[in-house]
Amino acid sequence: MTSIAEDFLPTTDRIEESLLEQAGCSPHQAAVVEGDAVCTYRELAARTQHVATQLLRRGLEPGDRVAIYLDKTTASVVALYGAWLAGGVAVPINEGLRSRQVEHIVRDSGSRLFLSEPRKLTRLDEGAVAGAEVLEVPDGVERAWTPLGQPGRHEPAAILYTSGSTGRPKGILLSHDNLIAGARIVARYLEIRPDERILSVLPFSFDYGLNQLLTAAATGATLVLQRSHLPADIFRSLARHEITALAGVPPLWLQLLGERSPLSQATAPHLRYITNSGGVFPTELVARCRRVLPATRLYLMYGLSEAFRSTYLPPEEVERRPGSMGRAIPETEIYVLDEHGRECAPDEVGELVHCGPTVALGYWRNPEATAARFREHPFASRGRTERVVYSGDLVRRDRDGFLYFVGRRDQLLKCHGFRVSPDEVEETIFASGLVAEVMVHGVPDPLSGQAIVAHVVPRDASTFTEDELLTYCRRTMPTYMVPRAVRLHAALPRTASGKLDRQGVAP
């Protein structure tokens, strides 16, 4: 593989221009692989141009929203870039959402067009598309394309809806500049190369998954689409397509690196690096990863949908700091602020505040929520004029500048007067080796304030006992952190983006 050069990434004003540039520079390079079908950059650009033409013929105006409700296929990639090329704002909808959630997103976004296919449409209730014009992604290519006078890079490009399980999801409004910066920054620190073969497991409606697509197009890499999340199927794809890069969230890694996964019994010789975001990667899992994939580089990352990515831990630091989420990504500043807006001292817990080119435009049609999270730079008196986003996540920074996740501000539990991070309890329980997955809740308690309940999937259901786990907890945790009760599950619920759904189980 060749190294990525500092001037390798294209300079563009709009996110779709990177695809068109790759079509000109590397027309025969594989852009997207779906099963046995390979779509080159030239073919992908021609199909994208055809979709853009059809959208314009339907009367799409600059800034109109285009909802995209498709399974992860080459057509879904074409739909995204087609919407951008036509001057629209893409609204990718997770393929697993049902009628109620789809209707909310279409209505809230005010989508002008709804791109889907008949099989997906038959699963929706009547009226779910909320008045948007339904259009199948057309087959065909457009060899001749006249570039349009498009809005600039600071104009909206996409609305990503959060996967919250309570209340109605909010749409995060991202500009072309946000998407371009996210692709540029991540491609550089991951050193993504033109001959990279990236396995795309995460949905495009999730900023983490979307960024994989954008970095591939920005660098001329190949994106291999993966529909199944079963470890055996993912392992087969790793071998068949000689995958060099794989991104996942903690529940996926728990399965892939598990003792019964094919990956733990064989090798993945082409896998150059893996990344984790969307939750804490348990320290015990770091050790297991090193055993299973000794030659693969591990990037531990932290991000929030309102700013794509915030921090990463270089692979060479993982052994020394396995619990760290790293330091700020390039072109970005990360502050840890107390409740009065002052910078925290080393090892003092405060809120993570992100400043950089990936900070979103705000929440779509929600000025109150936007004002609460997106604010002026906290140190404007120093001559700073940028906007920042307050993450709501509590972190601490050590004396070497490395950050550690503590918990969500709104998820901390109050037990016997102590503030307890659910993530810390979960990581400790997981380290017992007795469970495959764990999620904890707090329930009201008149004496302690909140009592902790642990929901677990046993690693071996035939030998697991609650007493053994609670004995381990009492041995390894302060009294106020020990769960009051343990609830057994065959599987834990997940959100549309694959994260564990804390609200999906009754406490």
The number of residues making up the chain comes to 507
Characterize 55-82 residue by residue with b for buried, 16 or more Cβ atoms within 10 angstroms of its Cβ, and e for exposed: bbeeebeeebbbbbbbebbbbbbbbbbb
Per-residue pLDDT tens over the stretch 181-228: 999 999 999 999 999 999 999 999 999 999 999 999 999 999 999 999
364, with CB counted inside 10 A (0-12, 13-18, 19+), is buried
Give 100 or 39, the one with higher predicted confidence: 39
Residue 83 and residue 56 in contact, taking contact as beta carbons nearer than 8 Å: no
Residue 125 and residue 101 in contact, taking contact as beta carbons nearer than 8 Å: no
Question: What is the Cα–Cα distance from 367 to 244, expressed in whole angstroms?
Answer: 42
Question: What is the Cα–Cα distance from 319 to 283, expressed in whole angstroms?
Answer: 10
* pLDDT band, very low/low/confident/very high, at 137 (cuts 50, 70, 90): very high
CATH superfamily of 17-227: ANL, N-terminal domain (3.40.50.12780)
Residue 466's pLDDT is 96
Residue 92's pLDDT is 98
Share of the chain above pLDDT 90, in %: 72
Other Cβ atoms less than 10 A from the Cβ of 427: the count is: 19
Mean pLDDT, rounded, for 474-496: 90
Task: Calculate the dihedral angle through the C-alpha atoms of 273, 276, 282, 287, rounding to the nearest 10 degrees.
Answer: 0
Flag whether pLDDT at 164 surpasses 60. Answer: no
Residue 5's pLDDT is 39
Sign of the dihedral defined by the CA atoms of residues 323, 191, 387, 171, in that order: negative
Give 149 or 125, the one with higher predicted confidence: 125
Mean pLDDT, rounded, for 467-480: 91
Sign of the dihedral defined by the CA atoms of residues 398, 401, 405, 410, in that order: positive
Residue 397 and residue 415 in contact, taking contact as beta carbons nearer than 8 Å: no
* pLDDT band, very low/low/confident/very high, at 13 (cuts 50, 70, 90): confident
* pLDDT band, very low/low/confident/very high, at 79 (cuts 50, 70, 90): very high
Residue 11's pLDDT is 67
Residue 411's pLDDT is 78
Q: Which of 121-125, 153-157, 464-468 has the highest mean pLDDT?
A: 464-468
Residue 416's pLDDT is 76
Summary mean pLDDT of the chain: 91
Mean pLDDT, rounded, for 267-293: 92
SS3 70: coil
| Domain 411-504 belongs in CATH node 3.30.300.30 | yes
Flag whether pLDDT at 448 surpasses 90. Answer: no
Which tokens go with 267? 């090798």
* pLDDT band, very low/low/confident/very high, at 6 (cuts 50, 70, 90): very low
Name residues whose C-beta falls within 8 Å of residue 465's C-beta, 6 or more positions apart in sequence. none
Mean pLDDT, rounded, for 372-400: 91
Residue 360 and residue 178 in contact, taking contact as beta carbons nearer than 8 Å: yes
Other Cβ atoms less than 10 A from the Cβ of 468: the count is: 12
Residue 449's pLDDT is 80
- Both ends of the chain: CA-CA distance in Å? 50
Per-residue pLDDT tens over the stretch 309-364: 999 999 999 999 989 999 999 999 999 999 999 999 999 999 999 999 999 999 99
Nearest alpha-carbon partner for 180 in 19, 375, 45: 19
* pLDDT band, very low/low/confident/very high, at 265 (cuts 50, 70, 90): confident
Which tokens go with 319? 């052994």
Flag whether pLDDT at 166 surpasses 70. Answer: no
Flag whether pLDDT at 165 surpasses 60. Answer: no
Flag whether pLDDT at 417 surpasses 80. Answer: no
Per-residue pLDDT tens over the stretch 15-69: 999 999 999 999 999 999 999 999 999 999 999 999 999 999 999 999 999 999 9
Mean pLDDT, rounded, for 163-170: 57
* pLDDT band, very low/low/confident/very high, at 3 (cuts 50, 70, 90): very low
Strand partners, 395: 350, 405
Domain coordinates of the chain in residue numbers? 17-227, 411-504
